[in-house]
Structure 1
């Protein structure tokens, strides 16, 4: 087995196995990243899917995710507020639309929005769709198919719901809901006719096997937008002392994910601002999408800065594979 042969098989349509992915993970970084970038160019050309998010409801979350600044179980001093008004969410949508951002995601804390909150957000989303050309994504927790259908009718195109980690490791990250509940919510969104954005966080104490297994689960689910977050260890969370990953750690993950998910948008997300090169090396190692602007509770990288970087790398901002 060698990287070139395995990469060429992926280019011809082969799905690599778990064993092959684990083997790839231990291979020389330069050759691995170069082949991953070739696979990216073959399946995705020079397209780069750029999105932004807004923290539509912050803090007081009932769930005990050990990485999260917004969990009521953690003591981080994160800002707390209920659902933002339609005016606040619309104003940010218009700003991002004017900057050429493709997708705008409304993210809310909590296990799931109530039916009343879903109706409120549907009104807001209809207004965004009337007044802008931006695509609307939502991350509203563990909703059911009926709720997702209402959101789709209101104009939502994509649902975000991170697996966070592998099935094996998930209980080490959260115990107030299960990995299977995540899977059910993703499948409910797909049944409602919505595309799904789902990935995870690297640096939660997971093994290489966990990283590979999460990617394989995403492949089984047919997910085409895969956020790869790097843990930003937040003081006051149980993971505040976790080791921060390096740029080369993230490049290796992006490259192996490209082999596993050859036509997906591999999206650098939270924690990118901690990287010295702001993700540039990852964008040459198989990654071809990003969340721009601020994250939920931490600062990010401005859309203007990202657009300059993408121009330098020869990328064109456009929608990735659905």
Structure 2
């Protein structure tokens, strides 16, 4: 085992990359050292993370687009969310969008060169009617396009997961959001185990599991490593890393503990801990990474284009240009 405290500078991070590429997991101490990387060594850390990213994904970038299929009206008390029952943020409130609107959203995803179209609905979990409404739209989208469809509808039963799989849903997203030890500080209306159980239901139905986190919610370095380990154990195929965008009117309003360098170290950690997985730069990237957004694609290989659920994202054409400027390539669009 490499004693990272005896290795300095670029050699330390290259040694970690070597170990990861040989299939050896990071120890807790090594994972913490990534988060605590000195700012002056950040480029060396990113180079090491890039080596791992390039080994598995080359310079391809996966693009994903979200449609907010049902907004507000949520009984949960998640502290980060503007759509929760405890939020006073002014957000649109509407029930499940009609099938035609969801299908039109799929066409927009193709126009933005996204390969994955994410149908997201607020609420604790879907009703059986809502599952059928989404399933009907998915069947039609799949008959017309080669888009990968991701659904994110909240807590899911085994039967609902099976129905979504039969309709053609490729991926189901249900984020762990934070570590088990920090979960009660963020929400008390459901448990960490409820979230794990939903991801397991999706996996059992044969749907690719997508699960990630939100950072910047008062968690410690140890808790970031803890949630990364939980996602690794869950074997999530896609890991969205969200950076808290604290919206006025939410319980976490005013929290601002991230900076662009911190965000890049967190992305590097997830690449080194989950080397073969899709690491997606997700919500809050524009406001937290700011001018350093392009560097995020050295550890990450995926991002959202367009708007998020209740906040605006960067214009898709700017993302396309950013990718080209890096010398990277958008993964083939699903036409």
Normalization by structure 1: what TM-score? 0.96
2:237 is equivalent to residue 224 of structure 1: yes
The CA deviation at 1:270 is 0.6
Partner of 2:84: 71
The CA deviation at 1:217 is 0.7
The worse-fitting range, judged by mean Cα deviation, of 206-215 and 241-250 is 241-250
Partner of 2:312: 299
Which of 64, 76, 91 is the equivalent residue of 1:51?
64
SS of 1:63's equivalent in the other structure is coil
2:295 is equivalent to residue 281 of structure 1: yes
Partner of 1:105: 118
Partner of 1:210: 223
Which of 21, 24, 29 is the equivalent residue of 1:14?
24
1:108-165 CA-to-partner distances (Å, cap 9, x unmatched) read: 0000001111111111111111222211110010101211111111111000111111
Distance 1:22 1:215 in 2: 11
Distance 2:113 2:69 in 1: 21
SS of 2:293's equivalent in the other structure is coil
Distance 1:152 1:97 in 2: 22
Distance 1:170 1:279 in 2: 28
The CA deviation at 1:276 is 2.0
Distance 2:245 2:14 in 1: 34
2:267 is equivalent to residue 254 of structure 1: yes
2:145 is equivalent to residue 132 of structure 1: yes
Distance 1:24 1:123 in 2: 45
Distance 2:29 2:235 in 1: 20
* Structure 1 alignment gaps of length 5 or more: none
Distance 1:94 1:33 in 2: 35
SS of 1:189's equivalent in the other structure is helix
The CA deviation at 1:206 is 0.6
In structure 2, relative to structure 1, the CA distance for the partners of 1:59 and 1:168 (3 Å cut) is same
Q: 8 Å contact 2:71–2:121 — kept in the other structure?
A: yes
Partner of 2:98: 85
The CA deviation at 1:278 is 6.4
Distance 1:310 1:31 in 2: 21
2:177 is equivalent to residue 177 of structure 1: no
The CA deviation at 1:83 is 0.3
Partner of 1:290: 303
SS of 1:196's equivalent in the other structure is strand
The worse-fitting range, judged by mean Cα deviation, of 91-100 and 203-212 is 91-100
Distance 1:25 1:74 in 2: 31
Distance 1:136 1:4 in 2: 36
Q: 8 Å contact 2:34–2:268 — kept in the other structure?
A: no
2:278 is equivalent to residue 265 of structure 1: yes
Aligned residues: 318
SS of 1:156's equivalent in the other structure is coil
1:56-98 CA-to-partner distances (Å, cap 9, x unmatched) read: 0000101000010000221111110000001111111112113
Distance 1:79 1:213 in 2: 34
Distance 2:261 2:178 in 1: 20
Distance 1:124 1:100 in 2: 20
